[in-house]
Amino acid sequence: MTAPLHLAVALDGTGWHPAAWRDAEARPDAIFGLPYWTGLVRRAEEAGIDLVTFEDAVGLQTGGYGPVENRTDEVRGRLDALLLASAVAPRTSRIGLVPTVTTTHTEPFHVSTGLATLDHASRGRAGWRVQVSGRAHEAAHFGRRTIPALDPLAAATGDPAHRALLEQLFGEARDSVEVVRRLWDSWQDDAVIRDTRTGRFIDRDRLHHIDFEGESFSVKGPSITPRPPQGQPPVYVLAHQEVPYRLAATSADIVGITPHDDEQLASVIAEVRAAEAQEGREANPEFAGPLRIWAELVILIEHSEPAARDALEHLDELHGSPYASDALVVAGTAAAIVERLERWQALGIEGVRLRPARLPRDLDAIADEVVPLLGRAGLLERPADATTLRARLGLPEARNRYERRGGAASAETDAVSDDATAETDTDLETAGSIRA
């Protein structure tokens, strides 16, 4: 049997090209309404796509890491990704819903409860695309600290100050993911007992303090939300260099990479595996295997290569300059895109996150042309009984780190003991305490 190729679609506004809102089929008047997003996700679900991601940030859309751009000819503003995914959840039934949630400036306790709630609302179809914020103007929205502008030239030359900032941001992200994962486990699956005879709704011995202490925050726990149906919703990290590769190695189930050709794909895969070895992922009991490596592409699909090039050139003219992205921009036919995906799978990728240049036009092309071609190639086989996103992606069942085994509590933390039954509900209300 051919190994499956997992397929995600990244949803953002009217598409990833900044002039896509001016496309004849675009619906810029609808992007701040729930029906628009529900329609896109249902279209992807009906096609058999594994998951969709929702883009987000803690500032208005802008290019690069400099000051806010004052352009008025691009889409500005978006709906909150986590809230949007939660609203779409009861209107869909099979597809994974993976919002982007930023760790910088965002308390991990709230991230944990929000994503756990999404997993409950979707009956086990939630995921999390982790993102950091390195933009100075975004830090100003919160006023807790300042972040210097990231300089691409400094990154290219290995400037120590730039490296230190990256280490800080991604180190904080690593702690944030760790807190979220511990909080997801802080309720055992059988903690809610609902025993009307004895009047016990929960078993307090099955709720656990996480007692996390880090450089940026401390969190006591337990969560206020019962364990998600998946136990651990899949975590996705988009990474472009060593520091984020290490974050993915320690914290994620899936890493997204952005190769621009076959040679670079091979070198990036080698770098990711080196980061896994450096961080000792193999010995981490939280993960049952190596990172799943997915590639990312911006795609524009037409019936012929010349038509696709013309369509991209037209959008570039409207924008005033050629569109540049961290990911490879591919303008071509569905067959050419599938040929590239098959080649890249042979080189080591296990999935792909496609970024439609135009919505809904390129999503329709993915559904009507790309997916059938992948299906005929035998790349879309999925477990017949997969009802959760973890199962659909072939991820193993997530064990609870705090679950009692053989009558003893996990050594990672002490369970909430009999002495804790005298604690008041105030303990749960202050479970996400933050240290300044």
C-alpha to C-alpha distance for 253 and 272, rounded to whole angstroms: 13
Q: Which helix (H) or strand (E) holds 327?
A: none
Backbone angles phi, psi at 246, to 5 degrees: -70, -35
- Of 75, 64, 56, nearest in space to 10 by CA: 56
Cβ–Cβ under 8 Å, residues 389 and 95: no
Is 426 labelled a binding residue? Answer: no
Q: Left (φ > 0), alpha (ψ -120 to 50) or beta: where does 275 sit? A: alpha
Cβ–Cβ under 8 Å, residues 254 and 351: yes
Cβ–Cβ under 8 Å, residues 412 and 195: no
Is 119 labelled a binding residue? Answer: no
Calculate helix-pair angle for 108-121, 81-88, nearest 10 degrees. Answer: 20
Is 310 labelled a binding residue? Answer: no
- Of 377, 344, 180, nearest in space to 257 by CA: 344
C-alpha to C-alpha distance for 260 and 266, rounded to whole angstroms: 11
One-letter amino acid at 296 equals: E
- If one counts every other C-beta atom within 10 angstroms of the C-beta of residue 122, the result is 27
Q: Which residues are annotated as a binding site?
A: 56, 100, 162
Q: Which residues are annotated as a binding site for FMN?
A: 56, 100, 162
